[in-house]
Amino acid sequence: MTKTLILPGLDGSPRPHWQHWWAATDASALMVEQHDWAHPRPEAWEAELAGAILSHPGCILVGHSLGAILAARILTRWPQLKVSAALLVAPADPAVSPRLAAFHGIPQQPLGVPATLVASRNDPWMGFAQSAALARDWGADLVDLGNAGHINVASGYGPWPAALALRDALHTRARAAVPHPLGYGTHSGAWRMGARA
């Protein structure tokens, strides 16, 4: 069974965040814990994630907010780690908050694995145009959720079954070993309908 490593962002993903729901309901999922959720340090967070990947080679990464940036850093800095795919939801721009500043310099090259970036048009942590540019840079598909805030509890995203469908689609692509172009595809409201059901 391919392991799904769930990567929360700043302050973690407490109940009823969709990442917490996912970790509690999917036997293949594991929340990657960080020593200090409130004061993120790139080297410490990367070490924890690298250790989890080494324990679960071939895993799929599911990062939210700063967790999405963490995934991109690992994939571009340590390409020798065995990761099958990445689902990157509502990445956070480190320039938005001093608490994220240590993560400045978001990678802008292909991630080297099948990837999907899920973005919102009114996310206070990263503008949609910047998210779309990152999807192009990373060679990721772009899923447009419309006005979905930061795709977190405050935006109504507790249980989020559509996220599992996105992960499963990535898993299928990774198993098929189909090369992914450096461009990206835009999926409009298809994943928005019933996303929070």
Domains, in order of start, for the chain: 4-191 (3.40.50.1820)
The predicted structure's pLDDT at residue 29: 98
Classified as helix, coil or strand, 12 is coil
- Interval 71-118: pLDDT, tens: 999 999 999 999 999 999 999 999 999 999 999 999 999 999 999 999
Answer whether residue 197 shows pLDDT above 90.
no
Q: What mean pLDDT do residues 120-142 have?
A: 98
Q: What's this model's pTM, rounded to 2 decimal places?
A: 0.89
CA dihedral 5, 10, 16, 22 (to 10 degrees): -10
Evaluate whether 62 touches 99 at the Cβ level (below 8 Å): no
Listed range (12-26, 59-73, 130-144) with the worst mean pLDDT: 12-26
Strand 141-144 vs strand 115-119: parallel, antiparallel, or unpaired? parallel
> Which tokens in the block code for residue 48?
């924890």
